[in-house]
A and B are shown apart, each in its own frame.
Chain A
Amino acid sequence: DGGITQSPKYLFRKEGQNVTLSCEQNLNHDAMYWYRQDPGQGLRLIYYSQIVNDFQKGDIAEGYSVSREKKESFPLTVTSAQKNPTAFYLCASSIRAGLSGANVLTFGAGSRLTVL
């Protein structure tokens, strides 16, 4: 089955540590996105990538970093610079912008990060 796999589902981090959240898709989608969701809140865009080896900052990129070395993978690193990283992180993908249906995002199941 095609889809998006996020791992780990739950992650605990000590303050000052960097952690990397994995996101892999086998949908052959060009675009990938990372969103953050806080309890009872909406989704906020962290980073997005339209093509391999290129990515753009979203609304809350500070304290986060990404890479897009392969079309299938878009890992997110939460660095120690992120002051309040405890949240639910969602990865998504879509077909290339400019095509009909480009707004249709397929989401992963999410990764819940807790800072101890």
Chain B
Amino acid sequence: LAKTTQPISMDSYEGQEVNITCSHNNIATNDYITWYQQFPSQGPRFIIQGYKTKVTNEVASLFIPADRKSSTLSLPRVSLSDTAVYYCLVGVRRTGFQKLVFGTGTRLLVSP
């Protein structure tokens, strides 16, 4: 089973760039890497998804090295509203079904 490992917490200040790394040594060939953001008492919200190299959207960038054993979520110029828990998700395939397993999550605290 592909298992993910993330830092438990990170601290930052407004306006800084934040990079959160996720390790997934057993990622399967067809698996995508997906990141979610969760605020307290809400369901997680999709941020970005990638397979290899670099993906960028309006809120974040995702960097994936050639061996795909890790990925880094990059949040440019964070604000107080980016304080949340960030989850790395890698698809786990078993006998035709896809069991989606969340990592431990990284609690990001952005201070003024």
Chain A: residues with CB nearer than 8 A to chain B? 31, 33, 35, 42-45, 48, 50, 56, 58-59, 88, 90, 92, 94, 97-98, 100-110, 112
Of B18-26, B37-45, B68-76, the one contacting chain A is B37-45
The answer to the question of B49 belonging to the interface, with a C-beta cut-off of 8 Å to chain A, is yes
The 0/1 profile, CB within 8 Å of A marked 1, for residues 82-108 of chain B is 000101011101001111111111000
Chain B: residues with CB nearer than 8 A to chain A? 30-34, 36, 41-46, 49, 85, 87, 89-91, 93, 96-105
B104 and A42 within 8 A (CB)? yes
For A37, give the chain B residue with the smallest CB separation.
B38
The answer for the CA separation of A105 and B37 in the assembled complex, in Å, is 12
- Give the distance to chain A from B6, nearest Cβ to Cβ, in Å: 9
Q: Which of B96, B100, B102, B103 contacts A48 (CB 8 A)?
A: B100
Given contacts A109-B43, A112-B41, contact A43 B34 (CB under 8 A): no
- Give the distance to chain A from B100, nearest Cβ to Cβ, in Å: 6
A42 and B102 within 8 A (CB)? yes
Q: Taking chain B's interface residues, is the majority helix, strand, or loop, or is none over half, making it mixed?
A: strand
B43 and A103 within 8 A (CB)? no
Chain A residues with CB under 8 A of B31:
103
Given contact pairs A42-B102, A107-B43, A107-B45, a sample of 20 additional A-B residue pairs in the complex whose CB atoms are under 8 Å apart: A42-B85, A42-B87, A43-B102, A44-B102, A45-B99, A45-B102, A50-B97, A58-B99, A59-B101, A92-B43, A97-B98, A100-B32, A101-B32, A101-B49, A103-B89, A103-B98, A104-B46, A105-B36, A110-B42, A110-B43
